[in-house]
């Protein structure tokens, strides 16, 4: 049986999130949170940190589409693109 795409993608997301969080910590940069005093953005990202964050965002969107399924994700994409 082939590996679940959902689980494989979740593992990639976990790895990327861990890498990004570690990079923030190593560079003494605060993580964003849902707290009122959370930083507004990530100033001073290195090129590697930026690419890790972008890849993480791309994988999160892939997860979003995969979980919704083809018809719902296309409907939502078109609906949001028209706004």
DSSP 8-state class, residue 11: H
pLDDT grade for 70, boundaries at 50, 70 and 90: confident
Q: What is the pTM of this model?
A: 0.80
- pLDDT of 62 reads 93
Q: How far lies 16's CA from each of 46, 74, 77, 83, in Å? A: 15, 26, 25, 31
pLDDT tens readout for residues 9-68: 999 999 999 999 999 999 999 999 999 999 888 889 999 999 999 999 999 999 998 888
Long-range contacts of 69-74 (CB under 8 A, 24+ apart): none
| Domain span including residue 68 | 5-34+41-81
Instruction: Tell me what pLDDT residue 60 has.
Output: 97
- The tokens for 80 are 């949001």
Could you give the number of structural domains in the chain?
1
Dist. CA 40–CA 61, nearest whole Å: 21
């Amino acid at each position: 049986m082939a590996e679940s795409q959902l689980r494989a993608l979740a593992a990639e997301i976990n790895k990327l999130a861990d890498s990004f969080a570690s990079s923030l910590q190593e560079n003494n940069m605060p993580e964003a949170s849902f707290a009122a005093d959370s930083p507004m953005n990530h100033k001073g990202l290195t090129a590697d940190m930026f690419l890790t964050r972008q890849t993480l965002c791309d994988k999160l969107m892939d997860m979003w589409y995969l979980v919704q399924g083809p018809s719902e994700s296309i409907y939502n994409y078109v609906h949001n693109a028209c706004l």
